[in-house]
Amino acid sequence: MTIHATAVAISGAGLLIRGKSGSGKSDLALRLIDRGATLISDDQVNISRKDRTLLLSPPASLAGKLELRSLGIWERNHVSGIDLKLIIDLVEQPERFPMDNQVVILLGIKVPSCTLNAMETSAAIKAEWAVQRIMQGATGS
């Protein structure tokens, strides 16, 4: 399955960023890459199922490419076949305490999710912390 989204790997964990065109998917990915994440794919992401795991990969034509508005297409190191651990849906007004029970079902598998505003200064840090929380198995504060 291929979807309109952007994906990065944070410490080996796959983060899928979804949102409308112009919502800041690539911008948030750029800030995460600047903080140490690795590009998986920008604009289109292939999602495949292997047992009870979803794997994120770039379409061949987009591998290693990141579009930066007003600067064009840039080549970046990228990874492929990364386990999806969290989905972030970009919205203008995220809910205050939404993360504890939010899930999205993709290809029959439940994936933790949360909402963020990509244009908030703290969005990249919040995304990293959300991934850390999932990886630590935390459900509370």
Catalytic center residues: 4, 25, 43, 96
Q: Which two tokens stand for residue 64?
A: 């290693």
Q: Which two tokens stand for residue 128?
A: 């990293």
Contact 117, 123 (CB under 8 A): yes
Distance (Å, rounded) from C-alpha 56 to C-alpha 79? 9
Residue 74, classed as helix, strand or coil, is strand
Contact 128, 10 (CB under 8 A): yes
> What burial class does residue 67 get, using C-beta atoms within 10 Å of its C-beta: 0-12 exposed, 13-18 middle, 19+ buried?
middle
